Structure 1
Amino acid sequence: MRASLVLTLLFLCSYNGLSSIHAGSLKDEASALLSIKKGLIDSSNYLKDWELPVTGLESEFVHCNWTGVSCNSNGEVEKLDLSNMNLTGSVSDDIGKLRNLVVLNISRNGFASSLPNSMSNLTLLTTLDINHNSFNGSFPTGLGRIVGLTYINAYSNDFTGFLPEDLGNATSLETLDLRGSYFEGTIPSCYKNLQKLKFLGLAGNFLTGRIPAMLGQLSSLETIILGYNRFVGKIPREFGNLANLQYLDLAVGNLSGRIPAELGKLKKVNTMFLYKNTFRGALPPEIGNMNSLISLDLSQNRLSGEIPSSISKLKNLKLLSLMCNRFTGQVPVRISELPQLEKLQLWNNSLTGSLPMNLGKNSPLQWLDASTNSLSGKIPTNLCSNGNLSRLNLFNNAFSGPIPIELSTCRSLQRVRLQNNFISGVLPHGLGKLRKLQRLDLANNSLSGKIPHDIGLSTSLAIIDLSRNHFQSSIPLTILSMPNLESFMASNSGLKGVIPDRIQDCPSLSLLDLSNNHFSGDIPGSIASCKKLVRLNLQNNQFTGEIPKAISTMPTLAILDLSNNSLTGSIPDNIGSSLALETLNLSYNLLEGPLPTIGVFATMKPDDLAGNPGLCGGALRRCSNSDADHASSFNKIVHTKGFIVDVWLVGISLLSLVLGILFFIGRWMYKKWSLMRKTSYYYS
């Protein structure tokens, strides 16, 4: 009985001792949290509940209820999540006192300090997430000793120095993301120990040297992102051994050499980005064996030869970008059979022949860019068969024939750029009814006929370029009043007729170029309603009449070219008062009188006023009194066109009257002279 009592007393003493120790450790954790808070700047006051009650720490472990704090069943902090709280300041060394911490997440804040090495004391840590901050200095050392560490995400910070070699000892790591800092040097060879690693992200640093072949031994790797560094050399052939790899991104990595054929063994890769390096030579046909590929971007390299037809075997391919290389030959016909193809980018190569005529028929094609090649033939008619085409860029080629009428019913179209080809025929009706169409660029072709009326009814078009065609027609009356039109260019297009003075509003128009056409009549004063117009070019037409005074009220007009027309009268004084006007060309018109002396006229070059012999002042000849008198009288005479016509008719009438009187007087005198001759002869 006594022995039992003694054991009970010993147990109670032991329990009380352990309880007091446990309570003390909890107090230490609460104190560590308060120390951590002290180093933070909590501008949004997220941590306002981090306070101990006046009576001290109680049995319910009050700190476990603080924002961002999670405890285990013993009241020990196992998770600290302070992400997305707009916190700044620094992380206290006391973070290392949270010995039971399993998850630490302080991502997406504004920290701009270094991280303490005391974090290596967090021996139970499995997850460290500090992404999207501005942590600087060296990456904390000692984390490699944490045997259970599986996840490190330090993406988008400002760390400097070398990559932490001790992480090669963290053999449980599955994710290592050190992208977007300023790490330098080479990839440590000890990383070959990370046999459980699935995600390796080192992109966006200043890493140099070769990509080590030993990475090809990390058989668990599913994602490799190493681009945007300063590597040298080739892609290791050993990468072909990464049987579980799904995502390979080596873009902008300064890599060179040939793309290894061994990559064709990567059956699970769905994304391969190798763009913007200096890879050369032919694209290995083994690429066609990567049958899981969804996105393949090899753009902006020096690849040459023909596009391998084996690419047509990639039945899951949605993105194929080969632009800005040196590919030659024809586009493989069977590319049109890829059932998932959405984006085909072949821009800036040396491709010849025609595009596959069934392109777009068998796939949800959204984006086709084959511009700046030597392609010819007709534009395929099936490009929008599935109603998904949004961008069509075929400029700088030798395409001929008409624009497919099917495009005028393609409601998904946003951009059509067909300039610098040999496209002929008429512009199809219906393009103006496409509610998503924002850009229509057809310059430097052989289009003829009329500009369809519906173009002027579009509520979406922002850029229209019809320059250097052969329309031989007028422009639709409403085209300059389109609500979203920013640029309308139609120089050298055979346009004619008058521009009606009915421009009610053009809220977005900033560029209007109608130069080198056959427009006649007056320049409409209502053009001044275009309050955002920056550049107006009407040169080399047949405009007559005076320069509209309302032009001077246009607040953003910086460039105005009215040269090579038949404009008359004097230059309105108030044009010079425009604060925005920088360049003005009035040469080769019929303008008269003294130049205004303010604004742009003070610095105008004589060449911009040449061909107007009636102008004087400024950089031209000195004005005389007769110039001013003549200009004044001339302005009175040509005040309106109707008055000019009236004066002309009166003059003609007076001239006819005088000629009639002279005719009758001459006839009477001739008869009298003839009679006198006969009388003289008879009496002689």
Structure 2
Amino acid sequence: MSSKVNSSIPGASVQILLFLLLCFFSVSTSVDDLQVLLQLKSSLSKSNTKAFDSWKPESTSACNFTGISCDSNNFVSSIDLPRNKLFGSIEFHSVCELKSLTKLDLGGNSLFGTITDGLNNCTKLTYLDLSANSFSGSMPDFSNLVDLRFLNLNKTGISGVFPWNSLQKLSSLEFLSVGDNPLSRSEFPTEVLNLNKLYWLYLTNCSLEGRIPKEIGNLTELINLELSFNYLTGEIPAEIGKLTKLWQLELYLNQLSGKIPVGFRNLTNLKRFDASTNRLEGDLSEIKFLSNLETLQLFENKFSGQVPEEFGEFKFLVNLSLYTNKLTGPLPKKVGSWADFNFIDVSENYLTGEIPPDMCKRGTMQKLLMLGNRFNGSIPANYASCSSMTRFRVSNNSLSGVVPEGLWGLPNLDFLDLADNRFEGSIAPAVQNSKVITQLHLENNQFSGELPPEMFKASFLNLIDLSFNQFSGELSPDIEKLTKLNSLYLKGNRFSGEIPNSIIQCTHLNNIDFSQNSFSGDIPSNLGSLESLNSLNLSRNQLTGRIPDSLSSLKLSLLDLSNNRLSGPIPQSLQNSYNNESFLGNPELCSSSIRLFKPCGSDSPMSPKLRTILSCLLVFMTLVLVVLAMLIFVRKRKRDRKSSKSDSWDVKSFRILNFTEQEVVSSIKQENLIGKGGSGNVYRLVLDNGKELAVKHIWKNDADREDNRKRHRSVTAAMLMKRSGNLPEFDAEVAALSSVQHVNVVKLYCSITSEDSSLLVYEYLPHGSLWDRLHTCDKVIGRLDWEARYEIALGAAKGLEYLHHGCNRPVIHRDVKSSNILLDEFLKPRIADFGLAKIVQGVCRDDGKDATHVIAGTHGYIAPEYAYTYKVNEKSDVYSFGVVLMELVTGKRPIEPEFGENKDIVYWVCGRMTSRESIMDLVDTSIPIAIREDAVKVLKVAVLCTTRLPALRPSMRAVVQMLEDAEPCRLIAIAIDKSNSMKQFAEYKEAEYKDGKPNNNSNKLSP
């Protein structure tokens, strides 16, 4: 027996030796993994994260590190650090030295740099998530990752041509998300069609074009398919009906046409369907079988026919948006009555019948938008108790009856729009309960009675439009309580009594229209203290007394005091060609310069003899003055010919002038130079009376222009060449500004031209440009607090809104930037420098018709559509204004070295809006932490303005509304109509899956 035991000892020794060697190599490899992770920590050392607190060099194993998992042999198998505030560049060659690595999740951080070829060495990866970071460059080949089942590259920042052919060997792939990256345009990748294990395919916003291939029907495991925000054309293939497991299908913002295909009814598991903003047509009959739908969004198409009655039986439906189609007939009475219904928008169709009564049956409805149809009947009484309602808009229908009393006072109602109907009755006192209402539209109805005093307790109102009703009584002095009021329209009613002096407490008033009423008494003299007032219409009333001189201090684009009983002299400063008709119908008014009115003092008694003597004296003095004037003129002509080549001056005045062209010409000298631009220099002129003006000298000499270009730091695109007569920049600026009068647009007094000189004379803005206040060395001295920045943003937006929507023909500025926003002595903004402006000859449409094809603008502000088209419309100005908003919020220039090569502020901001913390970090550090939430609201507006696709950007009218909603210290949530915002206001959050089922808390969210 002993011999047997002894004979077994050598074998046992060998086993022990092998075990020890295995342990040695295991420990050695684990040590190698530890060093790789410590090197990763070092490269991300500037990260503001606690995740690395446990990553210590003295550790004997990495398996206890935060975010690290190991396999049974103590080799690192998983790096799981999503949304951990990681900052820095990743060296993928090093990370892929972890030979057992199967999962790499770094999504939702602030990683930058390029994704290198080293990633292809992570051959055991089954899970890769690099989403929501700020990488740059193109995606390398990753065809070696053959075991990959989960691939998320959404919002990584990669660009260029995507290596779709890398997908050919990834037959195990189940989850693929490549969307929201600025990729090069390409056809739908056929490589995807062979990945028959896919349950999740997200290719939204990755520049796909062409048709959706019919082979998409082969991906029968799909539960989510998102192809939105691309350039896809043609019809939706019928084969999509084979994807019976789909619960979400998103095709919005493409150019799809044709009908909903036959067989679409087979998608009975579908919960979310969005094909909005396409060119689809036909009826909705295929959709009526999809009874599990929760959200249905088909707005901005060409659908016709009736809304199927079956929609009223959809027991899970919470969102229904069908606006801007050609739908007819009534809505199903039971629609929205089953689930926690949230909103309906069926605006701009041809729908008839009554408003369905039970959409707020469960008390969750927030928005009812049915404007622009042919609905009739009255508002159902049920909505009077819908306390969750934020927007109720039914304008431009045929509704009638008395508005339910409780509707006036819904506690969360922000926007009540009943305009253009046949409503009657009065405003109920319950309106005082509507604590957050900002807009009240009642125009063109049959409302009557006096305004209840409770109405003036709705202190957040910024717009009231009661025009063309039958309201009566006096306007209460309590109007002063509406301190946020911006626009007040009372036109065409029966109001009487005096205009209360207390109205001047409404310091934000921009528009007042009290025309066609019976107001009497004097015009309040203190109206001149309303610095923001832009439009004042008091015509067709019974006002008496003098026109207050204080109105002269206002910068009005509209003044109408016609058809009253006013008397006395018209203030001299109001007498110009733009205002002359504003005083007609007041026979007791007089003027010494307007021929339409009798001369002031013409009724005083005077003897014939005295009249003759005065006439003779007047003739004699006139002759003397003429002779003196001729002598002075001749002497000046001789002097001018020595100093200028000009033979004559052509002066075109647009306002009453109290200076001569010679005063202007003499100011063009070096010591008065205050600015340089791509098209000329700007000089400051001080008149003898102390008034300051700004004079812009447009370049006419090509050599001078080229020399100025070299000196000018900003890169201005496509400066136009000289032509006969005036320069194009000069013509554009005169054409754009000669008829424009708005408090937020720079005031043009006159143009002065000669054979070789072109001058524009403006009001002088003493605080320079917004660029100077934000970015130059003086910004510390004159630092702008957030309130000032907000007011500048709102004022500039109103100026652009006027140019786009308020002129007879829209004016496209084409060079909106912070250096072209000037500030007056009160830091009120003016849009300036119209050298590249374009007056649109018709309505600018998104198809590009009537749009200018000349590239113009400044690097950093130019809209991205310049990369693929020369067509420019108002949405290009909106993009540039969005960049200005980002400057105001972040304090950054549009181009900064920290953004990376060939990157701008838009890329930098959008790449960091991944979490609340990262968004707050974008705000200028000089803005106090307590009010940064207000700044973030404006930043979100800026992001919408800089959306890549022009059609998605809001109009300037919508931008003004959003900025008004974002007023600092507002105590209410922003609630914006989808009718104005389309998909821009939706926030997207990638769903995570467990056992193939969606986590309901991580699906796409909508405000």
Q: Distance in 2 between matches of 1:282 and 1:327?
A: 8
Mark the CA change 1:64 to 1:296 in structure 2 (over 3 Å): closer, same or farther.
closer
Q: Which residue of 1 aligns with 2:381?
A: 405
Q: Distance in 2 between matches of 1:160 and 1:416?
A: 45
Cα distance per residue 1:215-260 (max 9 Å; x no partner): 2332211100001122222222222222221111001121111111
Q: Does the CA contact (< 8 Å) of 1:144 and 1:168 recur in 2?
A: yes
Q: Which residue of 1 aligns with 2:87?
A: 88
Q: Which residue of 2 aligns with 1:95?
A: none
Mark the CA change 1:409 to 1:624 in structure 2 (over 3 Å): closer, same or farther.
same
- More off after superposition, 521-530 vs 241-250: 521-530
Q: Does the CA contact (< 8 Å) of 2:387 and 2:411 recur in 1?
A: yes
Mark the CA change 1:147 to 1:28 in structure 2 (over 3 Å): closer, same or farther.
closer
Mark the CA change 1:40 to 1:601 in structure 2 (over 3 Å): closer, same or farther.
farther
Deviation (angstroms), 1:620? 4.5
Matched AA of 1:61: T
Q: Residue 191 of structure 1: which of 150, 162, 167 is its match?
A: 167
Q: Does the CA contact (< 8 Å) of 1:558 and 1:582 recur in 2?
A: yes
TM-score calculated relative to the size of structure 1: 0.77
Mark the CA change 1:568 to 1:171 in structure 2 (over 3 Å): closer, same or farther.
same
Deviation (angstroms), 1:264? 1.4
- Work out whether 1:173 is the aligned partner of 2:148: yes
Q: Does the CA contact (< 8 Å) of 1:136 and 1:158 recur in 2?
A: yes
Deviation (angstroms), 1:497? 2.1
Cα distance per residue 1:97-142 (max 9 Å; x no partner): xxxxxxxxxxxxxxxxxx4434443321111223234555553224
Mark the CA change 1:230 to 1:375 in structure 2 (over 3 Å): closer, same or farther.
same
Mark the CA change 1:19 to 1:257 in structure 2 (over 3 Å): closer, same or farther.
closer
Mark the CA change 1:429 to 1:86 in structure 2 (over 3 Å): closer, same or farther.
closer
Q: Does the CA contact (< 8 Å) of 2:210 and 2:232 recur in 1?
A: yes
Q: Residue 241 of structure 1: which of 218, 223, 247 is its match?
A: 218
Q: Residue 473 of structure 1: which of 427, 442, 449 is its match?
A: 449
Q: Give ranges in structure 1 of 5+ residues lacking alignment.
A: 92-114, 631-684
Q: Which residue of 2 aligns with 1:563?
A: 539
Mark the CA change 1:36 to 1:195 in structure 2 (over 3 Å): closer, same or farther.
closer
Deviation (angstroms), 1:590? 2.8
Cα distance per residue 1:497-531 (max 9 Å; x no partner): 22133335124322211112221110112223323
Matched AA of 2:562: S
Mark the CA change 1:11 to 1:81 in structure 2 (over 3 Å): closer, same or farther.
same
Q: Distance in 2 between matches of 1:10 and 1:291?
A: 65
| SS of 2:446 mapped into structure 1 | coil
Q: Which residue of 1 aligns with 2:725?
A: none
Q: Distance in 1 between matches of 2:323 and 2:231?
A: 22
| SS of 1:592 mapped into structure 2 | strand
| SS of 2:264 mapped into structure 1 | helix
Q: Which residue of 2 aligns with 1:677?
A: none
Q: Distance in 2 between matches of 1:594 and 1:151?
A: 82
Cα distance per residue 1:7-55 (max 9 Å; x no partner): 9999999999999888777776665555444444426485577665xxx
Matched AA of 1:246: I
Cα distance per residue 1:42-93 (max 9 Å; x no partner): 26485577665xxxx5xx62877776667778876665566555443434xx
Q: Does the CA contact (< 8 Å) of 2:525 and 2:548 recur in 1?
A: yes
Mark the CA change 1:420 to 1:18 in structure 2 (over 3 Å): closer, same or farther.
closer
Q: Which residue of 2 aligns with 1:250?
A: 227
Q: Residue 267 of structure 1: which of 225, 238, 244 is its match?
A: 244
Q: Does the CA contact (< 8 Å) of 2:87 and 2:109 recur in 1?
A: no
- More off after superposition, 122-131 vs 619-628: 619-628
| SS of 2:492 mapped into structure 1 | coil
- Work out whether 1:572 is the aligned partner of 2:518: no
Q: Distance in 1 between matches of 2:6 and 2:548?
A: 122
- More off after superposition, 289-298 vs 28-37: 28-37
- Work out whether 1:303 is the aligned partner of 2:277: no
Q: Distance in 1 between matches of 2:329 and 2:222?
A: 37
Q: Which residue of 2 aligns with 1:329?
A: 305
| SS of 1:520 mapped into structure 2 | strand
| SS of 2:240 mapped into structure 1 | helix
| SS of 1:544 mapped into structure 2 | strand
Mark the CA change 1:619 to 1:459 in structure 2 (over 3 Å): closer, same or farther.
farther
Q: Residue 608 of structure 1: which of 578, 582, 590 is its match?
A: 582
Percent of residue pairs identical: 34
Mark the CA change 1:517 to 1:198 in structure 2 (over 3 Å): closer, same or farther.
same
Q: Does the CA contact (< 8 Å) of 1:461 and 1:484 recur in 2?
A: yes
Q: Distance in 2 between matches of 1:153 and 1:573?
A: 68
- More off after superposition, 324-333 vs 119-128: 119-128
| SS of 1:543 mapped into structure 2 | strand
Matched AA of 1:323: F
Q: Distance in 2 between matches of 1:374 and 1:365?
A: 23
Mark the CA change 1:26 to 1:145 in structure 2 (over 3 Å): closer, same or farther.
closer
Cα distance per residue 1:391-427 (max 9 Å; x no partner): 2111111112222223223333222111111112222
Q: Residue 194 of structure 2: which of 208, 213, 217 is its match?
A: 217
Q: Which residue of 2 aligns with 1:491?
A: 467
CA RMSD of aligned residues (A): 3.8
Matched AA of 1:433: G
Q: Give ranges in structure 2 of 5+ residues lacking alignment.
A: 606-1007
Q: Distance in 2 between matches of 1:62 and 1:241?
A: 46
Mark the CA change 1:31 to 1:156 in structure 2 (over 3 Å): closer, same or farther.
closer
Q: Which residue of 1 aligns with 2:46?
A: 42
Q: Does the CA contact (< 8 Å) of 1:312 and 1:337 recur in 2?
A: no
Q: Does the CA contact (< 8 Å) of 2:281 and 2:301 recur in 1?
A: yes
Cα distance per residue 1:233-291 (max 9 Å; x no partner): 22222222222211110011211111112211222110000111111111024222111
| SS of 1:545 mapped into structure 2 | strand
Q: Which residue of 2 aligns with 1:338?
A: 314
Q: Does the CA contact (< 8 Å) of 1:163 and 1:188 recur in 2?
A: no
Mark the CA change 1:133 to 1:207 in structure 2 (over 3 Å): closer, same or farther.
farther
Mark the CA change 1:211 to 1:619 in structure 2 (over 3 Å): closer, same or farther.
farther
Q: Distance in 1 between matches of 2:11 and 2:223?
A: 63
Q: Does the CA contact (< 8 Å) of 2:87 and 2:110 recur in 1?
A: no
Q: Does the CA contact (< 8 Å) of 1:493 and 1:517 recur in 2?
A: yes
Q: Does the CA contact (< 8 Å) of 1:64 and 1:70 recur in 2?
A: yes
Q: Which residue of 2 aligns with 1:591?
A: 566
- Work out whether 1:421 is the aligned partner of 2:420: no
Mark the CA change 1:500 to 1:37 in structure 2 (over 3 Å): closer, same or farther.
closer
Q: Which residue of 1 aligns with 2:60?
A: 61
Q: Does the CA contact (< 8 Å) of 2:79 and 2:104 recur in 1?
A: no
Mark the CA change 1:251 to 1:236 in structure 2 (over 3 Å): closer, same or farther.
same
Mark the CA change 1:2 to 1:172 in structure 2 (over 3 Å): closer, same or farther.
closer
Q: Residue 226 of structure 1: which of 177, 187, 203 is its match?
A: 203
Query: What does 1:418-567 correspond to in 2, within 5 Å?
Result: 418-503=394-479, 505-554=481-530, 556-567=532-543
Q: Distance in 1 between matches of 2:483 and 2:178?
A: 48
Mark the CA change 1:213 to 1:31 in structure 2 (over 3 Å): closer, same or farther.
closer
Q: Distance in 2 between matches of 1:531 and 1:72?
A: 69
TM-score calculated relative to the size of structure 2: 0.54
Deviation (angstroms), 1:434? 2.1
Matched AA of 1:338: F
Q: Does the CA contact (< 8 Å) of 1:517 and 1:540 recur in 2?
A: yes
Question: Alignment length, in residue pairs?
Answer: 597
Cα distance per residue 1:636-655 (max 9 Å; x no partner): xxxxxxxxxxxxxxxxxxxx
Mark the CA change 1:25 to 1:522 in structure 2 (over 3 Å): closer, same or farther.
same
Mark the CA change 1:377 to 1:186 in structure 2 (over 3 Å): closer, same or farther.
same
Matched AA of 2:105: D
Q: Distance in 2 between matches of 1:428 and 1:629?
A: 61
Q: Distance in 2 between matches of 1:446 and 1:319?
A: 32
| SS of 1:304 mapped into structure 2 | strand
Q: Distance in 2 between matches of 1:10 and 1:218?
A: 49
Deviation (angstroms), 1:540? 2.2
